[in-house]
Structure 1
Amino acid sequence: MIYTKPWHLAAAVCLPLLGAAPARAALICNATTTPVQVVYFENDPNPADDAWSVSVNCTRGPTDPTTSAYTLQADNGFNPSGNTNQAVNGNGQTNRIAYELYRTAPGTGPWGGTNATDFAGTINFGGALTASATHVFYSRIAAGLNKSAKLFTDTVTMRLRYDNGPSNVTVSPTFPVSINNQSVCLLSTPPGNIQFNYASFQVAAATASTAYAVRCTIGETYTMALDATTGTLLTLTYNLALSNPAGQTGTGFPQNFTINGTVPGGQSGTCATGTCTSTQARTLTITY
């Protein structure tokens, strides 16, 4: 007799239960500025100072930190000369115009390419998912630059570093700079008085002159004219003439001219005493 006993083979399989951790959204920040657009008048004796703003804007997920420390730096633009920013339009120094950026006030507290000149702060979300921080910065252009009358441009790259929780993140937003240098002409040295000394019936003409200087933007064409080139004083006829009556082109520096006057000889004049004087105003006009 064969005796058999049935039996069962059992296998146990352990299946680990994996619990999904809550997703952590990345905190994201960027920086934006107001347009840096300067209108420059090189005849202004004061530096051209302007104020602008830059904002650090951040978003986060519900489980992300509610604060984030950051620093914000600005480089010296696409066309630096050492540590000086330059906006350009063409080649050569007359087609470059220097400017600087500041954190504290125009001329104070540079905002540049070193950690010591960074803006620094902390974004505070509170219970919100978006938050921002704004800083004021300043631009300055020195007075009296001799540059071409045109639009100069540059691009500044910022370096924004912020803490997104797991690590520090660096982004490099940019902003444009434009400087519109205006054409201008001015009398850098106004003309003085022309004084004739004349004796009745003298044979030779009496002559006198006065010097003046005109400064115009590089490449700016201009003309000069007197309101009248002849007149009378004490019934003496006099004549005036510009030393350079033709059109001129500005160099950015003072250009020197004279107004020359004559009283032709042989005139008697009118004078009831031994010596008489009389004056008359004339106008010099510069058109550009």
Structure 2
Amino acid sequence: MKKIIRWAVALSLAFAASAASAAISCSSITGSASATVTNVFAGGNIDVSGAISFTCTRAAGDPKFPATFYIGTSGTNGSRNLSNGGNTLAYQLFTAYPGCSAAWQNTGTDISVANSLTAGGDRTTSFSNIPFCLRVTPANTTKPLVFSASETLTIRSASGGGTSYGTGTLSVSGTVNALCLTTTGNTLLFNYTSFQSSAQPGTNGTFVVQCTNTTSFSLSLDAVTGTAAGLTYNLGLTSVGTQNLNSQSGTGNTVTYQVPGSIPAGQAGTCATGATCVGNDSRTVTITY
């Protein structure tokens, strides 16, 4: 009979210890970060700060709050992707911002949060705007879309393990803006002799356009004719006389456009007899996207 009583007491103590380990409960666990890519052609990483908030409570008589809480997440750098349909944008998370050097992932690297409320009378402790780092590295062919992903946050008693006090959601997003860039065009050159009997074609007239993948754009010349050194010239986009090119689509790569031109025959120009002179005129190409 004495053995039975001792066993019952030991079992009762085990139950009490189990209840104590689950006495702390954390709720309202949220985290978010959002990156905007304004220029996918710039290269390099885009690092932005994210923020986490949570609140923990305990009942009277339960153990005191720990001096440190740990925040874990469910993803792993190298396999994280924001998505939009079948399109993706890779991302990474790090435990601190700025710096962005210590990987924050589900392999035991947690964010530690110091807690000053450890006295016996403390019943609630809250944290907000705990920083972390979101990094995206878009390629020039990344499509201009809004990408998103979510992970599970866990508040716990030890880094990578221990007692779980509660879980919540980490929301991550990335916006890639549409963009078109162009270079100043190469000079369209004409070598023309006064009153020559045939039209003189131009050479070397090109400019380069780079637009984000799938971005629709159009090109427009301010004019397809003009005058330089008293000579009337004609030009266009890809062909003489073409002022507008519509329904173009970006690939993320550079595309070279030709600007052909011609000076009609029989013109005198403004050069003095026997002299050589140079005339210049400027035209503007407008990209609309």
TM-score scaled by length of structure 2: 0.78
**Residue in structure 1 matched with residue 71 of structure 2 by the alignment:** 72
Tell me whether 118-127 or 149-158 shows the greater mean CA deviation.
118-127
Contact 1:152-1:178 within 8 A present in 2 as well: yes
Aligned equivalents of 2:234, 2:40: Cα separation in 1: 33
Q: Which amino acid aligns with 2:227?
A: T
**Residue in structure 2 matched with residue 103 of structure 1 by the alignment:** 95
Q: Which amino acid aligns with 1:196?
A: F
Aligned equivalents of 2:65, 2:90: Cα separation in 1: 38
Aligned equivalents of 1:229, 1:142: Cα separation in 2: 41
Deviation at 1:168, TM superposition (A): 2.1
What SS does the corresponding residue of 1:114 show, helix, strand or coil?
coil
Equivalent positions of 1:1-288 (< 5 A) are 26-30=23-27, 32-43=29-40, 45=42, 47-68=45-66, 69-76=68-75, 83-91=78-86, 95-104=87-96, 105=98, 107-115=100-108, 117-125=109-117, 126=119, 127-134=121-128, 135-162=130-157, 168-169=163-164, 171-187=166-182, 189-206=183-200, 207-243=202-238, 245-272=245-272, 274-288=275-289
Structure with greater Cα Rg: 1
> In structure 2, do the counterparts of structure 1 residues 262 and 286 end up closer, same or farther at CA, with 3 Å as the change threshold?
same
Aligned equivalents of 1:263, 1:177: Cα separation in 2: 58
> In structure 2, do the counterparts of structure 1 residues 107 and 128 end up closer, same or farther at CA, with 3 Å as the change threshold?
closer
Give 5+ residue unaligned stretches, structure 2: 1-15, 240-244
User: By percentage of residues, which structure has more helix?
Assistant: 2
Q: Which amino acid aligns with 1:87?
A: L
> In structure 2, do the counterparts of structure 1 residues 137 and 31 end up closer, same or farther at CA, with 3 Å as the change threshold?
farther
Q: CA RMSD in A?
A: 2.6
Q: Number of aligned pairs?
A: 255
> In structure 2, do the counterparts of structure 1 residues 106 and 220 end up closer, same or farther at CA, with 3 Å as the change threshold?
farther
What SS does the corresponding residue of 1:209 show, helix, strand or coil?
coil
Aligned equivalents of 2:99, 2:252: Cα separation in 1: 25
Deviation at 1:239, TM superposition (A): 0.8
Runs of 4+ with deviation above 6 angstroms: none
Indicate the percent of aligned positions where both proteins have the same amino acid: 31
Give 5+ residue unaligned stretches, structure 1: 1-20
Contact 1:149-1:218 within 8 A present in 2 as well: yes
Tell me whether 53-62 or 167-176 shows the greater mean CA deviation.
167-176
TM-score scaled by length of structure 1: 0.79
Q: Which amino acid aligns with 2:141?
A: N
Deviation at 1:147, TM superposition (A): 2.0
Residue-by-residue CA offset, 1:96-126 (whole Å, 9 max, x unaligned): 11111112335412211211x2112443323
**Residue in structure 2 matched with residue 7 of structure 1 by the alignment:** none
Residue-by-residue CA offset, 1:164-209 (whole Å, 9 max, x unaligned): xxx823533222222222222111x431211211111122322223
Q: Which amino acid aligns with 2:53?
A: S
